[in-house]
Structure formats: C-alpha cells, structure tokens
Amino acid sequence: MSGAGPRGGANPAAANSAVGPVTTPIDAAGAAPVRLGFRHCDSRMPFLWQSAQQPAARWHGSGEGPANYFADTPIGAWAEFLRHEGITDAAELAGVRRSLWVVELPAAGYAAPQLPRRTLTGGLASYGACQAEARRLRAAGAVRLEAPAAALKAGTARGWTAAPAARPASAARDGRVWVLFGLCSAVGWPAVVAGAPPAEVLPLVRHF
C-alpha cells in the first residue's frame, strides 16, 4: 500500500475492533515476533520508499518521508489503490498493473493517533489534521503508528470463506493501517506481480 502515486506510475469502533494483527511467535533462536503487512506498489519500482522525495499522504507532508504505509489485509492494500485512483468500475481494472507485497513488520510499538474517527477515515480535507497529529507523535518519539483503514468501509476487512463456495466471512472486521517512518529495512515477498485488484474489492472501498 503506497502512500501516493498515479495509476501504474511511481508512486491503502467496530464490534470486531479487538481482532488484532496476525503475528508470528518468537522462534527457538529468539527472533522477535512480527506482524504481516500488505502494500501495493508500481511493478517497476522497489516496494519501499527510502527517500524524503515522496509525495505527501495522510500521515506525512511533503519532505517528511520516507513513510511507508501497510494494510493489515490484502484487500485493504488494494482498496487504498482503488480509492486513490478513483476506480469504481470493473472495466477500469483491465489496464492496471500493480504489485502486492507481503512484508514483515515489527509486532509492537505503534502509536495511536488521538483524532475523531471521522478525521481518521476522512477525505483529502482531513489530511492536514492527520499530518499534524503524526508530527506530534513523531516529536514525542514515535517511529510508527496504527490507525483505522480510511479506504475500507466499516466491517469489510472480513475476508472470505470457502464452505464450499467462496462467500464473505460472517464476522465483521475493520481494516487497519500501519505506517513506518524513516528508512525501512523490512523484508517482503511479492504476492502479485503486475496484476490488478479483484473486482470483489470495488464495493468495499470508501471513496473520497
């Protein structure tokens, strides 16, 4: 899930809010636990920003990067892309060539922005307040934050089941976004290369 960027160019309190990210336990060698994040990016580019020359987005302003954004589910990452590009019709997906990466992130240490939910999930007009809150948190020592997914409608990060046919899972789940500030050495794996979001994500997107 990239912070900003054109399509295909160089540069995404519910009942289930207690559902946390999937983490891996400490292994026998004592490695720290991690959580998995999902991030879309231009297929021609690296999957992480490593420069301050990054377009501004919700949680950072111009010149305040790098800031790398991750969703807690694949559909959350795709929703961020669809919202950013204003894609609402399945026919528009035919020309999309994006990659989706699965990335290991630290399991803990995420600051929580203190803003109303309507601001956390609002449109472009809410970006200024979110950027100011991120500056406050960073000034206090935060190097990463966690916030509600603005690009997904409430309860729609639920995923699907196969029983036996594929259908939406019954339990509602809200999407989350994790932002890592500064140079990032996270390890990732490509899950989709030069592909397009599934059409099933289209009705789940909270557009600007």
Output the CA–CA distances (angstroms, integers) from residue 199 to 35, 75, 114, 147, 196, in the order listed.
27, 10, 34, 25, 9
Q: In this structure, are residues 8 and 98 in contact, taking their beta carbons and an 8 Å threshold? A: yes
Write down the residue that tokens 């939910």 correspond to: 117
Q: CA 134, CA 3: separation in Å to the nearest integer?
A: 14
Per-residue pLDDT 10s for the chain (208 aa) are 655 443 443 333 333 333 446 544 444 455 668 999 999 999 999 999 999 999 999 999 999 999 999 999 999 999 999 999 999 999 999 999 999 999 999 999 999 999 999 999 999 999 999 999 999 999 999 999 999 999 999 999 999 999 899 999 999 999 999 999 999 999 999 999 999 999 999 999 999 8
DSSP conformational letter for 9: S
Q: Which residues of 100-131 are buried (b: 16+ CB within 10 A; e: fewer)?
A: bbbbebbbeebbebebeeebbbbeeebbebbb
Strand partners, 178: 70, 146
- pLDDT at position 147 is 98
Domain regions of the chain by residue span: 23-204
Pairing verdict, β 160-162 and 23-24:
unpaired
The H-or-E segment that residue 130 falls in is helix 127-139
**C-alpha span between 183 and 66 (Å, rounded):** 6
Biggest distance spanned by C-alpha atoms of the chain: 51
Rg (CA), the chain: 16
